[in-house]
Each structure stands twice: as C-alpha cells, then as structure tokens.
Amino acid sequence: MSPDRTLLVAVFVALVTVVACALMLADGFTWPGALLGGLGAGGCALWGLPSWFARKDEAAGRKK
C-alpha cells in the first residue's frame, strides 16, 4: 500500500474512533465503555478499508 493510502487509512481510523466515542459519550455511556466502543469501531474501519483498497487495485489490474 502506498504511503498516501496508509496516511488516509490512519486518519480515517482516528476519525471513526473519535466520532464513535463522542456519540457514545453524548448518549450517556461511561468513558471506559465509550472508549471500548470507539476502539471497536476504529478496528472495524482498520479491517475494512485496506481490504476495500485491495479490491479496487485488483479490479483496476484486470481492466488493463
């Protein structure tokens, strides 16, 4: 994966984690519960985004 995509994945994961934590805190969760939920959401984004990039690369390779 290129450095640009790595940076994009890192920023997106951080953004998803922060937004999920903020939403859970606004909903009345305690901070440990909100942190665990936010980290879970960030982990899902970290798992899904690189595989999405890989599929796009494979599709582009087949078209050439």
- Domains of the chain, residue spans: 3-55
Quick: pLDDT tens for 29-57: 999 999 999 999 999 988 988 887 777 76
- Indicate the pTM of the whole model: 0.76
Burial class (CB in 10 A: 0-12, 13-18, 19+), 13: buried
Quick: pLDDT tens for 14-34: 999 999 999 999 999 999 999
User: Which one is predicted more confidently, 30 or 63?
Assistant: 30
End-to-end CA distance of the chain: 19
Q: Quick one: pLDDT at residue 64?
A: 43
